[in-house]
Structure 1
């Protein structure tokens, strides 16, 4: 065989081998020094403050983990642990900070003992609703302030869902005046709990999984939780007589994903992008789910279980609002960072309220004509 024919035959044979390799289960042979480099795989633990697979709150981190696993083709695999499976419900912040787990899903207002300003990133009484809160975080400078607040704790935060405007809660006594709040033992965290305390009540922080028993046994007289969808799942209608609205204390409750900063820095850019995209998808998906499910659950509570749904008196709501403003200003005065967060939040609230007077609020008024 002539030299040119030999080289041609070798070239055709090599090409055929490569094509055959592409159609098989094994990778094609590579020249020395050019072998396939397997990308590093990461295995993360995600701890939550909610019971495993609890509707809305518990399913959001599961949905997030599934999205990450699929989008990364298994390169970043996240296993979700419900409250108490790996760490207690209200210890997930420290678990991620110290590296016991790489991620958590919870609510920032649970960490007020570590830093009072964390409360601004879950809910502010009479503050931003879900749509407005998300806008402040992602387009109003809120996320940058949140990241700066969490950096000393070795954490990176992401918005992790919203429940929308909540209900005021379940009560075993009627609330007809401010006097009825005095001596009231109520499960209510965050800034709302401090407002209740100023008006003579006793706020108690009870994990969600213990609410029914606490209410049924009289350990607490009342509890807020979320709204009809979650409240019905916990059977709270069996333990209390009256279901009050509106949720003055949590008008746009935002949940959080946190990531250990050291673990975050180890991820390559594409996996970071996947995590960020998946948190945003989970954030929106949770609000969509609550908007749909709360409506159906409220109908069931009223029509199937005879729940009395009552509105808090206007004078009570007005007093709660006045005290809430005092409380938020005091939190803002605790340090320079808290002040900067509060001022940003307040400024955005004032601006978006002016716009919503001629958009959202005007439309709702028109729809009810």
Structure 2
């Protein structure tokens, strides 16, 4: 019995040793997954991107912990802004932060991206219109009909004001002004004699200095100071044609669908972070620089005269509404929302 026991222990020891050797010597069965890399191009130049997108991207990259990295590119760095939609469809770029209008999105609601005249008065109007009044579902529907690009999320930026070399104190002063602006805003402003000019974003400052441009209607005063336009213009018109720019995030559909669910959640949180940052940065900056800025003198067109611009905008709305049934739905939502805000009164609407 003792011999049997001894034989058993010997065999057990051999098996145990062999087993240990097999385990210790086995190759690793779990290998690190390859990092997912996306290229995201924004409409913004480097100085502006430091606020409107870079903090959110940096946070995403840190939280993704090596599973995914977003490589951020600035305005026109990989492809011209007007070609961004096609570049996403082809997979040249994985994601974009811009407005539908500027990237020439082939959807019937692209005209509402950027600065659609008088559609908003304040920055909070944009998220409310998308989340509470149905624009989100309309955008999803429209982009669902386009192959290769997925619309992800919309948010608000700053209001649209004129920054000019010479003062603007009446509608007559706008006539003949060569202005850098967005496509739809340019179409509307041309009714008042403005000459819209399209240029690469990085060339705008020099174009003002050389006299190719008389002004800019692309932002509020926060951006004028941030990107250097306040250094080459002398006047800031306090009237605006829109209370907030409407911009979005988009992605190549195949690349978006391939993301694990947890990274999609993280990407959505990144977009929300970007939207939130802009809400307070612009809102505070617009007031602070109007009251404390020293580079531009404020000018104003009298309310009764500016009312002509607002009334013309509502005619413009009706014209756009006739372009498609879906565009008409959007305009009807704008009208409904404007009516609710007017009835609500202060602080939702002061006039």
Please indicate the TM-score interval, normalised by the length of the shorter structure.
Answer: 0.7 to 0.9
Q: 1:155 aligns with which of 149, 154, 165?
A: 149
Distance 2:328 2:89 in 1: 24
Structure 1 counterpart SS, 2:293? helix
The answer to whether the 8 A contact 1:112-1:119 is kept is no
Structure 2 counterpart SS, 1:255? strand
Match of 1:165 in 2: 159
Match of 1:260 in 2: 252
Between Structure 1 and Structure 2, whose CA radius of gyration is higher? 2
Match of 1:42 in 2: 36
Shift of 1:321: 0.9
Which structure 2 residues correspond to residues 181-192 of structure 1 after superposition, within 5 A? 181-192=174-185
Shift of 1:279: 0.6
Q: 1:315 aligns with which of 295, 304, 308?
A: 304
Distance 2:316 2:100 in 1: 17
The answer to whether the 8 A contact 1:46-1:80 is kept is yes
Q: 2:125 aligns with which of 119, 132, 140?
A: 132
Which structure 2 residues correspond to residues 206-355 of structure 1 after superposition, within 5 A? 206-248=199-241, 250-302=242-294, 305=295, 307-355=296-344
* TM-score (normalised: structure 2): 0.83
Distance 2:76 2:200 in 1: 11
Gaps in structure 1 of 5+ consecutive residues: 18-28
The answer to whether the 8 A contact 1:191-1:324 is kept is no
Shift of 1:265: 1.0
Distance 2:262 2:301 in 1: 49
Which structure 2 residues correspond to residues 91-106 of structure 1 after superposition, within 5 A? 91-106=83-98
Match of 1:78 in 2: 70
Structure 2 counterpart SS, 1:130? coil
Structure 1 counterpart SS, 2:219? coil
Shift of 1:261: 0.9
Shift of 1:102: 0.5
Q: How many residues align?
A: 337
For residues 244-263 of structure 1, the C-alpha deviation after alignment (integer angstroms, 9 at most, x for no partner) is 11222x31112221111111
Of the structure 1 ranges 323-332 and 291-300, higher mean CA displacement relative to structure 2 is found in 291-300
The answer to whether the 8 A contact 1:60-1:161 is kept is no
C-alpha spacing 1:205/1:114, structure 2 compared with 1 (3 Å) = farther
Structure 2 counterpart SS, 1:331? helix
The answer to whether the 8 A contact 2:179-2:213 is kept is yes
Structure 2 counterpart SS, 1:86? coil
Of the structure 1 ranges 291-300 and 314-323, higher mean CA displacement relative to structure 2 is found in 291-300
Alpha carbon RMSD of aligned pairs, Å? 3.2
Structure 2 counterpart SS, 1:109? coil
The answer to whether the 8 A contact 1:160-1:280 is kept is no
* TM-score (normalised: structure 1): 0.80
C-alpha spacing 1:121/1:195, structure 2 compared with 1 (3 Å) = closer
The answer to whether the 8 A contact 1:120-1:342 is kept is no
C-alpha spacing 1:316/1:227, structure 2 compared with 1 (3 Å) = same
Structure 2 counterpart SS, 1:330? helix
C-alpha spacing 1:340/1:138, structure 2 compared with 1 (3 Å) = same
The answer to whether the 8 A contact 2:85-2:105 is kept is no
Q: 2:137 aligns with which of 141, 144, 157?
A: 144
Distance 1:58 1:143 in 2: 27
